Structure 1
Amino acid sequence: MLKMAFKYIYGPIRSRRLGLSLGLSLSPGKTCNLNCIYCQWGRTVGTVSQRREYADPNEIIAELKSWMRKNPKTAQRLKFVTLSGLGEPTLNTRIGELIGKVKKITSCRIAVITNSTLLGNPRVRKALLGADLVVPSLDAVDEKIFRRIDRPHPDVKLEKIISGLVSFGKEFRGKFWLEIMLVSGINDSIGHINKLKSVIQRINPDKIQLNSPVRRTAEENVLSVPSVKLEKIKKILGEKAEIV
């Protein structure tokens, strides 16, 4: 489980994708509409679908200001402030407001890591327009595979996720990196990858980031895809694809 000295702040974490990034969680615990088998934070106990104010942006900003005062040198080296955390950040109805408030107190770029489930909602897409980078995920384009790997709340519909991603790709002017979490024997068949490729062409992200579980997962026997096969999948998906 993620260790957090603050209620909403974690890190900073250094990653190959984002460099030095400070994370903000938009809920005090794991609040999500998916129960992914590969989730490093464990199972979602009771998925939710309703958007509401799971955390007050003013409280989050107060914590961020406190962290910056206590860590001035590290704050200057940050590349990103990342909205993600233990659950799905777009479930918080005030995410757009938070993005604006963060931009007022730091020169860091703002990244949002999302499971894409709410991008079919125009209000959610509009709220994310202030971010510099959005990294949505799409693990499956087949309904059975989607329900097996991501185990969504009944209100979450794959068709709406895909249409939302297509719309967001047309509306967003920042960097747009699509992440795919590949699990051996579930969503890594060549047939499914070719279907993914067709959908991704409609979404038109700047990058396609291929990932596979390496940390502890919510369920047992969730296997990583071998590196040789990852390279093959990368080749199928084309020049925008990279393994992260």
Structure 2
Amino acid sequence: MGGFSYKDVYVEDGKRVLEVNILPEKYCNFDCIFCPIGRSENKVDTQKAFDEYESSLIELAKMIENTKAELIFINSKGEAFVNDKIGEIIDFIKGKGLHVRLLSNGYLLGRDEYIKIANKCDEVVGEIKVITEEDFRKVQRPIEGYTLEEYISNMVSFNKQYKGKFIFEITIIKGYNDDEESIQKIKNIIKEISPNKIIITRMEDERFKKKLGITDERFEEISNVLLNIS
């Protein structure tokens, strides 16, 4: 099974954005308990070949033409780096004169082969959801041997050499990173990574919102703190 899938095109900052998922099902190096896609049956951090590559590129070209997209956002079911053709897919899009934004959870941005691929992109999104080693192992359930310290370090080192726009997405989760001590830790992580843009999100999926969601007031408080770091 292969093939890409798409979301409806939308406008962001005056540009028409087309989101494309380049994985046929979920392949990820994490297995987060609150992932809206569900469990990671394929927990991997090495690349894999998928079927229907050539026909998927033809379809992508048609989607770009039909939607008049100006920015292609590779936002996949899991970790997009797992697709062994990701570099070629990015080159294909760039060859059409379009900007590319890549979403990765960010852990693999410490490996040379993935750094090279990410450097092709105009924008790279990395993310963080919990801020203790214990929660990282318990809640995000990464591949054995992963650490939160290395996770952050990989994004720090990547952004130091990256020439594009690094976007850092932080998800605020009730009971995990919404207290004052956690917010201070997140502030320190932001300073370390020094992203070009920060996005603050929270649990919006109805399956997790009641237990892990935070109030509008608290979300606004935290957002104001994290978006205004001097």
Q: Give the TM-score normalised by the residue count of structure 2.
A: 0.87
Distance 1:220 1:231 in 2: 16
Q: Report what 2:6 is aligned to.
A: 10
Equivalent residue in structure 1 for 2:49, among 53, 57, 61: 53
Contact in 1 for aligned 2:3/2:51 (Cα 8 Å): no
Distance 1:220 1:44 in 2: 21
Please give the per-residue CA displacement for 1:80-107, whole angstroms capped at 9, x wherever unaligned. 21112212102223322221111113x3
Please give the per-residue CA displacement for 1:184-203, whole angstroms capped at 9, x wherever unaligned. 11222211121121122111
Equivalent residue in structure 1 for 2:93, among 95, 102, 108: 102
Equivalent residue in structure 2 for 1:43, among 39, 43, 67: 39
Contact in 2 for aligned 1:40/1:216 (Cα 8 Å): no
Q: Give the TM-score normalised by the residue count of structure 1.
A: 0.82
RMSD over aligned Cα, in angstroms? 2.6
Q: Report what 1:179 is aligned to.
A: 169
- Which structure's relative contact order is higher, taking Cα pairs within 8 Å and 6+ residues apart? 1
Distance 1:131 1:143 in 2: 30
**What number of residue pairs does the alignment pair up?**
229
Residue 193 (structure 2) pairs with residue 193 (structure 1)? no
Distance 1:221 1:43 in 2: 20
Q: For residues 224-235 of structure 1, what are the structure 2 equivalents within 5 Å? A: 224-235=213-224
| SS of structure 1 residue aligned to 2:222 | helix
| Cα distance change, pair 55–202 in 1 and its aligned pair in 2 (3 A) | farther
Of the structure 1 ranges 152-161 and 178-187, higher mean CA displacement relative to structure 2 is found in: 152-161
Unpaired runs of at least 5, structure 1: 1-5
Q: Report what 2:132 is aligned to.
A: 142
Distance 2:140 2:226 in 1: 21
Equivalent residue in structure 2 for 1:30, among 22, 26, 42: 26
Contact in 2 for aligned 1:22/1:80 (Cα 8 Å): yes
Please give the per-residue CA displacement for 1:59-115, whole angstroms capped at 9, x wherever unaligned. 43222123345x2xx2x2x2421112212102223322221111113x332110111
Distance 1:18 1:230 in 2: 27
Please give the per-residue CA displacement for 1:156-202, whole angstroms capped at 9, x wherever unaligned. 33222111101111111111110011111122221112112112211
Contact in 1 for aligned 2:102/2:125 (Cα 8 Å): yes
Distance 2:62 2:70 in 1: 18
| Cα distance change, pair 55–122 in 1 and its aligned pair in 2 (3 A) | farther
Equivalent residue in structure 2 for 1:162, among 152, 159, 163: 152
Contact in 1 for aligned 2:109/2:154 (Cα 8 Å): yes
Which stretches of structure 1, 4 residues or more, deviate above 6 A after TM superposition?
none
How far has the Cα of 1:209 moved from its partner?
0.9
Of the structure 1 ranges 196-205 and 142-151, higher mean CA displacement relative to structure 2 is found in: 142-151
